[in-house]
Amino acid sequence: MTLPLYKSITALDRWLITIVVMMATLMEVIDSTIVNVALPHMQGSLGASSDEIAWTLTSYIVATAICMPLTGYLSDRMGRKKYLICCIAAFTIASALCGASVTLSEIVTFRLLQGLFGAGLIPLSQAILADIFPPEERGKAMAIWGIGVMVGPILGPTLGGYLIDISSWRWTFYVNIPVGIFTLLLSNVLPDTPKQQRRMDWTGLALISIAIGGLQYVLDRGNQDDWFGSTSICAVTYIMITAFLGFLLHNLKSDKPPVFDVRIFKDRNFTLSSILLAIFSLGLYGMIVIQPLMMEGLLNYPALTAGLMLAPRGISGMISMMIVGKLITKVDSRLLITAGILVSIAGMWLSTHYSLYINTAWIMWPMFLQGFGLGMVFVPLSTIAYSTLSPHLRTEAAGLYNLLRTIGGSIGISIAITLFTRRTQLFWNQLGGALHPYNSALQSYLNPLHLTSAQAKSAALLSQELYRQAAMVSFVNVFAFIMWCFILMIPLVMLFKKGRKPTNLAEMMH
């Protein structure tokens, strides 16, 4: 019998491999958010409208989402090592081309290439770490991987803001070049898997690509295009649903090997972990996009300061992941996940008490709790997902697991932005109804400023204050929505099968 991979490598090689795959992971996850802060600068430099420059994000997300389920297939056909090296090299080259772009069409094309080759970096790194660490240390492996995946999006805007301040938006792409070269120089230590002949189901691939691409388009453009008030959104939604139903029907009736093995979802732990990860990502990415808007747009923090104030969440997340990595072999994973959810709920509950007059500490402490709780959830969730899967399914499972993370994040961003926009308008109308000359509170507000309600200056001042109050209540509503999403995770945790350590090699390989 072939020995498991973790028994055939040395401790030194194990940590060298960990460094290589984590560098690749960080490169991809930071790149998914670092560009957000550069969009206004790119818009001016490339002469694009706000709608047009948004395609630099859309093209990347769509390409990543479509290619992620193909990770298992391409890994089998090329061998895991060769495929990962190709992804790192191509991602680095595409980053350099993005930085050198002089037109909108160029940067959208090169961002598409970044997404195509970046899609495999995260699932491959997760699958490799799951294989090179023994079962009793797999929690530690997922903690290391989780630090990269969770901290990357938080550090991205901070690093992006700093690079733009000292140089230009192009360096948000050029920063990948030294990281990519360093990773390639160490890539010889990566473990390989034997190539397997595997046919591609081109019909299934086309259907699932249309479904995923359509979903990402709807989520990305929905708020700007007024959701189902837009003909294009309705048309894409119809095509997306039709393609997805066609994919399911095709898989049920076709005798050909499918694009990905749907038997993976027969594993209860993997399916529940994937659903929980999607909800988890919905909350995490919803917070990541909405909190900088509050700090910069409403509380007037500079971009770099707002980015630095997100650091406590990343730091506490790293701390909790390291702690949980040591506890996971001693404590039931379900208890760790539940405790992490409760801590996250506490952090979000504190956020629902924000006002226009909060100080820095009031902003940072809830973020610290949120990060600590999310770190407690992420590690045991990733460990449970692979605990009962056969080793040969791990690469494919990692692709699907991270696809749901991406989709959950996209849904979270769309809901957070839409909820904020719609609720701001609602509260504007509700609060505005109280602004009339006969309101004594209005007169009390204007008297110290030596103004009357009839003056034009009063109208401008009241309009500005009305927006600030409506926006603050809307932000609080978004935080409350995310808190309830975390609350809904708790019943699902109870459905996990109780894990136990394998007692022998045969059981481990089962």
DSSP for 108-161, written as a single string? HHHHHHHHHHHTTHHHHHHHHHHHHS-GGGHHHHHHHHHHHHHHHHHHHHHHHH
Name the DSSP letter for residue 255.
Answer: -
Question: At 3, is the secondary structure helix, strand, or coil?
Answer: coil
Q: What are phi and psi of 256, to 5 degrees?
A: -75, 155
Q: Percent of the chain at pLDDT above 70?
A: 84
Name the DSSP letter for residue 258.
Answer: P
What's at 32, amino acid-wise?
S
Q: Percent of the chain at pLDDT above 90?
A: 10
Q: For position 341, what pLDDT does the model report? A: 92
| Structure tokens that stand for 25 in this block | 């992971």
CA atoms of 233 and 221, how far apart (whole Å):
8
What is the per-residue pLDDT across 80-117, written as a single tens digit (0 to 9) for each?
Answer: 888 889 999 999 999 999 989 888 888 889 998 998 89
Residue with tokens 């997805």: 244
- One DSSP character per residue, 420-440 reads HHHHHHHHHHHHHTT-STT-H
- State how far Cα 137 lies from the chain centre: 25
- Angle value at C-alpha 260, between 79 and 397, nearest 5 degrees: 70
Residue 112: partners with Cβ closer than 8 Å, 6 or more residues away? 59, 60, 62, 63
Out of 6-10, 158-162, 213-217, give the one with best mean pLDDT. 213-217
Out of 249-253, 316-320, 372-376, 483-487, give the one with best mean pLDDT. 483-487
Can you tell me the mean pLDDT for 211-224? Answer: 79
Q: Which band of pLDDT confidence, cut at 50, 70 and 90, is reported for residue 448?
A: low
CA atoms of 49 and 305, how far apart (whole Å):
27
Question: 449 or 229: whose pLDDT is higher?
Answer: 229
Q: For position 508, what pLDDT does the model report? A: 32
Question: At 416, is the secondary structure helix, strand, or coil?
Answer: helix
CB atoms within 10 A of CB 104: 18
Q: Which band of pLDDT confidence, cut at 50, 70 and 90, is reported for residue 209?
A: confident
CB atoms within 10 A of CB 162: 17
| Structure tokens that stand for 194 in this block | 């034997």
CA atoms of 27 and 217, how far apart (whole Å):
24
Kindly tell me if the per-residue pLDDT of 414 is higher than 70. yes
Mean pLDDT (the chain) is 79
If we measure between CA atoms, which residue out of 162, 110, 126 comes closest to residue 378? 126
- State how far Cα 153 lies from the chain centre: 7
Question: 434 or 158: whose pLDDT is higher?
Answer: 158
Q: What are phi and psi of 446, to 5 degrees?
A: -85, -30
| Structure tokens that stand for 51 in this block | 């709608």
Structural contact between residues 259 and 70, judged by C-beta atoms closer than 8 angstroms: yes
Q: For position 453, what pLDDT does the model report? A: 60
Question: At 195, is the secondary structure helix, strand, or coil?
Answer: coil
- One DSSP character per residue, 167-184 reads S-TTHHHHTHHHHHHHHH
CA atoms of 386 and 379, how far apart (whole Å):
12
pTM of the full structure: 0.74
Q: For position 349, what pLDDT does the model report? A: 93
If we measure between CA atoms, which residue out of 289, 279, 211 comes closest to residue 245? 211
If we measure between CA atoms, which residue out of 220, 170, 176 comes closest to residue 42? 170
HSE value, Cβ hemisphere, 13 Å, CA-based, for 468: 14
Helix 55-67 to helix 394-432 angle (10° resolution) is 150
Kindly tell me if the per-residue pLDDT of 446 is higher than 80. no
Can you tell me the mean pLDDT for 379-404? Answer: 76
CA atoms of 103 and 49, how far apart (whole Å):
12
Q: Residue ranges of the alpha helices (H) in 294-393?
A: 303-309, 311-327, 333-351, 360-387
Kindly tell me if the per-residue pLDDT of 434 is higher than 70. no
What is the per-residue pLDDT across 127-154, written as a single tens digit (0 to 9) for each?
Answer: 888 778 777 777 777 777 777 776 676 6
Q: For position 503, what pLDDT does the model report? A: 34
What is the per-residue pLDDT across 449-503, written as a single tens digit (0 to 9) for each?
Answer: 656 666 666 666 777 778 888 888 999 999 999 999 999 889 888 888 765 443 3
Q: For position 242, what pLDDT does the model report? A: 92
Length of the chain counted residue by residue: 510
| Structure tokens that stand for 21 in this block | 């795959």
- State how far Cα 301 lies from the chain centre: 24
Out of 37-51, 106-120, 243-257, 400-414, give the one with best mean pLDDT. 106-120
What is the per-residue pLDDT across 22-54, written as a single tens digit (0 to 9) for each?
Answer: 888 888 888 777 776 677 778 778 887 656 776
H helix or E strand, kind and range, residue 250: helix 231-253
Residue with tokens 């994973």: 333
Q: Which band of pLDDT confidence, cut at 50, 70 and 90, is reported for residue 343?
A: very high
Question: Is the Cα dihedral 317, 323, 325, 328 positive or negative?
Answer: negative
Question: 454 or 358: whose pLDDT is higher?
Answer: 358
Q: For position 30, what pLDDT does the model report? A: 81
CA atoms of 149 and 144, how far apart (whole Å):
9
CA atoms of 490 and 510, how far apart (whole Å):
29
Structural contact between residues 404 and 383, judged by C-beta atoms closer than 8 angstroms: no
Question: Is the Cα dihedral 413, 417, 420, 422 positive or negative?
Answer: negative
Q: For position 506, what pLDDT does the model report? A: 32
Structural contact between residues 257 and 198, judged by C-beta atoms closer than 8 angstroms: yes
Can you tell me the mean pLDDT for 308-332? Answer: 80
CA atoms of 350 and 366, how far apart (whole Å):
6
